[in-house]
Structure 1
């Protein structure tokens, strides 16, 4: 730590003033009472005495306080420097207790926040490792069990062999699904996934997703529909495949957690001149408020047993969030437990950038016309 010393004179100035004032009054009082000296003749003596005592007191007090505080406070700075605090290591040692108290308090607050953040991260790390081990362990043990059974003699029975191989194949497919989703999230978080931005009709894209998920919705007798029956085409500018993945994941979630015989509605709203809002709502079980802030965490499940029974990697909403953020857009969620949930996200309208350039082209054309007239 850099050894520098920031002095403060407030304590010495005040203390010397009080000492000199008391000393002068006491000496002058004794001189008048004991020696019967005329008060008028003591003025010069009193002025000289008060200045001398003040100066002496100030120097002694300042020196002693500096030495006293320096020795003890320096130890505090040295102890703090062991913790590599950037807020205090480079600060000069101060004898001002108010400043020292403020600096130490700030240091303690920063450290407390840092410790709390580390505790949250550690808890998240443990939960994440537990979740990923469970997600991978289940299909691995399934595949291992079927293969072991076949190797133990069941392979000779053609019916059992075919059935067990199909089940093992499903377990492998689930493993591949989880690994691919993890790989995608890693690329999205690191920025390695390049977006292919094109212009397309998002209404048509949603209709295609409806067709893809129609059979899945029919199993729970859930109706997939637009909020507005006479919805018009709406062109946006984004990565078509990734936005389709977002819509698929959100609709699959609405089917998974929707009530039997319910409805999943999708709305496309012109939010502003530059943005389109896509809203996907269901009338399912809803989400409790305490779970909403963690919905987009990897492997976080509101209903762990029910979610795993429905399948999925537990990464769907995390992928949705990262894809939307990769487009520099926002995703929102509103839910009321027992009534339903609504997910919505923004996407840029097609032709926004071209529209912004048009005024400049018009001005240039006007300037060219003026030049021709001249």
Structure 2
């Protein structure tokens, strides 16, 4: 509608101009009227034909292409489909602006992914090179010595073996996190008592805790009947990773405690340590792969740097949440939720009178 009004005004302007010129030279109103009528009709037809033929049709084509590409349709479908719109120019403007916003968001996301890819490749290269170079150095030292110093050779081979173990852990964790991300590792839901699982994990890690001079505390009675629905094996891994992380950043003579809280339809499990804590600026990146807040210390203790990333993927695969709160110098608390198991009502047992 707006396009026709624009053509009408343009044709009228041309007709008025020609009529004014005709009146200036002839001063005959009849000739001016004829000139105005003829020039207006011809101008309107010419402008309408040109705009409809070369401009309007092209705009409609652009509109159809953008509209259909936004919907994810095939390009041939976009070309073959007709769009009925009273004002395609305004529609094209809106579509182009929306399309530009979407593309900007996509480009920003691609840049973030590219940055993440670069950091990941850099980190994984460093994680592999460190043990590989150590193994290479120990083996070369033993080979050059030709086992003349058997005690030294034994020590070097033991150190080389530890670095081989570190590589194995790294490859295993990378494979596991890849399967979690791609969905190749299914979640096998079962009902189990979360208290029993916590007790098993604490018993399993008691020796490692004593090596770090850390006391394990379970702030919940073992006989409480708290049933959850989850993958028992994977939740066990979550608990092991979180407790092991508390050893890395705990303090000698410190404590690591596990607490369970009953919520409405969920259970909250928290692992708390009184170690060095985490600065607030590091918290958003804490679950990234290979991210370490204290590089030297965590590498001395060991680990692949993927423990917390695996924890996050396992909990999210359960469609649950994990969070962390921490204060530098005071300690950290990692908490995650699990779905409570639905309690089925037991049918009443009839009593038979003899």
Q: Report the TM-score, using the length of structure 2 for normalisation.
A: 0.78
Aligned counterpart for 2:277 among listed residues 274, 280, 286 = 286
Aligned to 1:243: 235
**SS in structure 1 opposite 2:303?**
coil
Aligned counterpart for 1:198 among listed residues 183, 190, 194 = 190
Q: How far, CA to CA, are the matches of 2:224 and 2:145 in structure 1? A: 61
**Residue 277 in structure 1 maps to residue 277 in structure 2:** no
**SS in structure 2 opposite 1:258?**
coil
Taking a change above 3 Å as real, the CA distance of residues 235 and 88 of structure 1, as seen in their structure-2 partners, is closer
**Residue 115 in structure 1 maps to residue 107 in structure 2:** yes
Aligned to 1:183: 175
Moved over 4 A (4+): 21-28, 34-37, 48-57, 70-77, 83-89, 91-96, 228-231
Aligned counterpart for 2:133 among listed residues 141, 151, 159 = 141
Aligned to 2:250: 258
Q: How does 1:215-364 map to 2 (within 5 A)?
A: 215-228=207-220, 232-272=224-264, 274-350=265-341, 352=342, 355=344
In 2, are the aligned partners of 1:188 and 1:322 still within 8 Å (CA)?
yes
**SS in structure 1 opposite 2:147?**
helix
**Residue 211 in structure 1 maps to residue 203 in structure 2:** yes
1:329 Cα shift? Answer: 2.5
Q: How far, CA to CA, are the matches of 1:51 and 1:104 in structure 2? A: 40
Larger CA deviation: 106-115 vs 137-146? 106-115
In 2, are the aligned partners of 1:19 and 1:54 still within 8 Å (CA)?
yes
**Residue 156 in structure 1 maps to residue 142 in structure 2:** no
**Residue 66 in structure 1 maps to residue 52 in structure 2:** yes
**SS in structure 1 opposite 2:293?**
coil
- Tell me how many residue pairs correspond in the alignment: 336
1:202 Cα shift? Answer: 1.6
Q: How far, CA to CA, are the matches of 1:145 and 1:25 in structure 2? A: 93
The alignment's C-alpha RMSD in Å is 4.1
